[in-house]
Amino acid sequence: RIAKMEQAKIETEPFSPEVTLVATGIRQADNEDTVSVAKALMKDGLSLDIPVVNAMRTPRRNGRPGIMKIQLQNKDDKLKALKTKKSLKDSKSYKKVFIRGSYSLEHRIMHSNTKLLLQATGQQAKYFVDSSGRLKGKEENNKGPGGGGAWGRGPPQMQQP
């Protein structure tokens, strides 16, 4: 019953983050059919036979193509696309295309507010917000994942200025 309610919510909410991908770097043409561009990305770029429900593109910014939101049928299709996105770098046509999951408005606002608080308190050199929205400490010997150092260990301890 809960699954039916979630599916009904997804069907009524356009570009719901649960089933939406965000793609950047796709060449933009005048009067393009965004749904067919998204279908070509799924079929030619990712080699997946995933149905695209809807697609939209934001306006150009600073001469760069706008981002494309791609709505898929269900969460499983979204996960398949995200798992195979690595294959885009081997494609000649989609080498500069990047795909990520969509975030809800609340998530984006919370992420922005956390970054703003770090800047206001002068702590942006010591801490960062990761892609999941968690606040993590930066270490002086930070070498990233797999490169040694104490990357992201333990909860950050904010000090009073």
Give the C-alpha separation, 26 to 64, whole Å: 10
pLDDT band at 160 (very low <50, low <70, confident <90, very high): low
Digit-coded pLDDT (tens) for 48-89:
999 999 999 988 888 888 899 999 998 999 999 999 999 988
pLDDT band at 99 (very low <50, low <70, confident <90, very high): very high
Q: At 97, list the tokens.
A: 């295309």
Digit-coded pLDDT (tens) for 3-42:
665 555 545 467 788 889 999 999 888 888 999 999 999 9
CB–CB of 54/19 below 8 Å? Answer: no
Whole-number pLDDT of residue 149: 47
Give the C-alpha separation, 108 to 140, whole Å: 28
Helices (H) and strands (E) in the chain, counts: 4, 6
Q: At 52, list the tokens.
A: 């695209």
